[in-house]
Amino acid sequence: MKLPVKLAGLEAYQDIKHYLLKAVHDSMTVEEFEEKWNHTITSHHLEENEWLAKLYEERERWVPAFLNSNFFAGMSSTQRSESMNAFFDGYLHSSTTLKVFVEQFENAMRNKVEKEILSDFECFKGKLECSSSSPMEKQFQEAYTHEIFKRVRLEFAGRQGCIVNELVRGGDEVKYKIEDEACPGKLFEVRFSSSECLVGCVCRMFEFRGILCRHALFVLSQERVTVLPDRYILDRWRKDIKRKHTYVSTCTDDVQHNPVLERYEKLHRLAVGVLEIGAESVENFNVLEKLLIDLKDNFPRSCDKQPSSQRKNSVGAAPDVVRTEVVRSPMVVKRKGRPRMKRLKSSMEEAVSKPKKKRNTAAC
């Protein structure tokens, strides 16, 4: 967005903009980015440009090629703020008071939980059709929510545009170079290990978005893989996961309060005290860390994943405790200084605001 402001005065601005955007957004590896960026800078004699030099120094913080090895669920920094704004759409505005903000925040959270429950119901009620007869796609169909499965289905459908350009086998590892009709002129390198059933693509879509790309799925199908390991089916996308934000109680839970929330709140208060003790010293931390790891490993996975029948019972359970918390308006404090309505006015302002006398039409 700052390119027009910073570089619009240059004679070759359009060419510079084109090559810089290609370097940033089309580079799949750090080496590719470095080569394209340096070529653009040297060919257009931009070595003395301070703004570009500062951007290059901080490239590890914003260039996708440096960041796509980390999981961000496919979001950029601007998308995160936009999603936060969308979360409060219809609830808050610029003149919202603190009291109204607290009330509306509770309403927004409650609406979020209700949408989550409705979405879970839709996922368990029916299934979306697969784009192929692949057993792997059916595995995703059974596990993932509808919204995520739609994205996975697009990648399975995109396998038809993949062509093997080069294949190198060496022991347990196989290296493919894939041509993709959706990205002409690019080669995607995919490595597959048959001993551990590990697959990785240079586009790193799974690492960044949590969804296997069409190139990796194509290679898996070429290698006759029918059942995916659990590592490629993330818990965060599963439809049988109990979302943790549904445990957060609000002041409107006087009707919907249930034993699950009650237990969660009590354990949460106890956990805070235990964490404070564990943070006081290294010895306490080591003991507590080992204890929590052992404790978590001993619990069955059903603590996190509940069948639909159990989920329905916990949501619709009768309340044990009724809370009646009321958010009151803050005390009104008298302002200091001259009251707003009694400020001095200029003669011009007084003349304009002075009401006009009504004309006596009866006398006419």
Rounded to an integer, the average pLDDT of 98-126 is 83
Q: Is the pTM of this model over 0.85?
A: no
If one counts every other C-beta atom within 10 angstroms of the C-beta of residue 198, the result is 14
Alpha-carbon span 315 to 124, nearest angstrom = 16
Bridge partners, residue 193, by sequence: 173, 198
Task: Classify residue 29 by its DSSP letter.
Answer: S
For residue 320, give the H/E element and its range.
none
If one counts every other C-beta atom within 10 angstroms of the C-beta of residue 117, the result is 16
Going from the C-alpha of 353 to that of each of 5, 340, 345, the distances in angstroms are 45, 16, 10
CA dihedral 123, 129, 135, 139 (to 10 degrees): -10
Going from the C-alpha of 320 to that of each of 253, 254, 257, 263, the distances in angstroms are 11, 10, 7, 11
Which one has a higher pLDDT value, 96 or 177? 177
CB 237 within 8 A of CB 210: yes
Q: Could you please report the per-residue DSSP string of 240-273? A: TB--GGGG---TTTTTT--HHHHHHHHHHHHHHH
| Statement: residue 330 has pLDDT above 60 | no
CB 316 within 8 A of CB 121: no
Tens of pLDDT, residue by residue over 33-87, are: 999 999 999 999 898 889 999 999 999 988 989 988 888 877 776 555 556 677 7
What pLDDT, on a 0 to 100 scale, did the predictor assign at position 340? 56
Beta strands 173-180 and 187-193 are antiparallel
Domain residue limits, the chain: 3-67, 135-237, 244-315
| Statement: residue 212 has pLDDT above 70 | yes
Alpha-carbon span 228 to 12, nearest angstrom = 50
Which one has a higher pLDDT value, 236 or 89? 236
Task: Classify residue 337 by its DSSP letter.
Answer: S
Task: Give the confidence band of 336 by pLDDT, cuts at 50, 70, 90.
Answer: low
Structure tokens, 357: 């006398």
Going from the C-alpha of 107 to that of each of 143, 150, 167, the distances in angstroms are 30, 29, 56
Rounded to an integer, the average pLDDT of 208-229 is 92
Alpha-carbon span 330 to 9, nearest angstrom = 54
Q: Nearest-CA neighbor of 178 among 193, 188, 186?
A: 188
For residue 96, give the H/E element and its range.
none
In the sheet that 173-180 helps form, which strands lie side by side, from edge to edge? Answer: 162-170, 173-180, 187-193, 198-201
If phi > 0 it is left, if psi is from -120 to 50 it is alpha, else beta; for residue 185 that is left
Going from the C-alpha of 82 to that of each of 78, 89, 119, the distances in angstroms are 6, 10, 22
Tens of pLDDT, residue by residue over 244-284, are: 555 655 554 543 566 777 777 788 888 888 888 888 889 98
Mean pLDDT across the chain: 79
What pLDDT, on a 0 to 100 scale, did the predictor assign at position 102? 85
Q: Nearest-CA neighbor of 176 among 139, 213, 207?
A: 213
